[in-house]
Structure 1
Amino acid sequence: MNSIDIVLLIAYSISLICALLLMAALYLYFRRRFRARVVSLFMLAAFFFLGAYTVKMAVALWIRFSSTSGTEAMLGPLQSKIWAIAQTGTTLGLVILTLLIYTRRQDLFVVLSQIRKGRNRHADSHTGPK
């Protein structure tokens, strides 16, 4: 293992840890927002992007470990497929975020309807508990 491998393993590990911490924080954010029945479309897109990026960092770490340990030939096709899926998700997330920013729609919110006792309730049709 040379110095570049060590630097990349450290960088990928730090990136993966930060991405996992951000995913956990965003999970808590979305739990609150889903309870309030209003979710930011921009934050959903950011969560999707970050999820795909997290998978990419995990695969990058996996690829780097397997290339230094010599098991690359056995796992190469699986790593390539997972990397392609994660890259597609990352690209899709970036496209969505870019469209939201450049169309000045980063403040769009999705109001989730709530079904109670057989009827739909929306945020604009009800002001308080019954």
Structure 2
Amino acid sequence: MGGIDILLLIAYGISFICALLLMAALFLYFRKRFRARVVSLFMLAAFFFLGAYTVKMAVAFWIRFSKFTAGDAVLAALKSNAWAAAQVGTTLGLMILTYLMYTRRQDLFMIFPAVKEEVKQDVDA
């Protein structure tokens, strides 16, 4: 393993760990926001982008540092398909974020209606 491989291993590892930490923090944020029934579309798009980026970093790590799949066509195709799906997700996330930024709609919120519980009335009453 050369110097560039070690540098990439460190960079991919740090990127993956940071993305996972951000995903965990955003998950807690969204849990609180969904309970309040108001979610920022910009933050939702950022969460989608970060999720796709996290998958992309995991696939990049897998592609770059796998040794035993050089001759296996099935795993090579799986890597290629996983990379394509992660890239499409990342691109869609970037497109949504770009659209929201350039239309100055980063403050759009999605409001969920309250779930009303029906109160059962006694027939005898």
TM-score (norm 2): 0.89
1:49 aligns with 2:34: no
1:29 aligns with 2:32: no
Tell me the alpha carbon deviations over residues 19-61 of structure 1, each in whole angstroms, 9 at most, x when there is no partner. 0000000000000000000000000000000000000000000
1:100 aligns with 2:86: no
Higher fraction of strand: 1
Matched position secondary structure for 2:39: strand
Q: How many residues end up aligned between the 2 structures? A: 116
Larger radius of gyration: 2
Matched position secondary structure for 1:17: helix
Tell me the alpha carbon deviations over residues 63-112 of structure 1, each in whole angstroms, 9 at most, x when there is no partner. 1111xx24233221101001100000000000000000000000000001
Q: For 1:22, give the aligned amino acid.
A: L
Structure 1 runs of 4+ aligned residues shifted over 4 Å read none
Distance 1:47 1:71 in 2: 32
Aligned partner of 2:71 in structure 1 is 73
* Unpaired segments ≥5 residues, structure 2: 119-125
> RMSD across aligned C-alpha pairs, in angstroms?
1.0
* Unpaired segments ≥5 residues, structure 1: 119-130
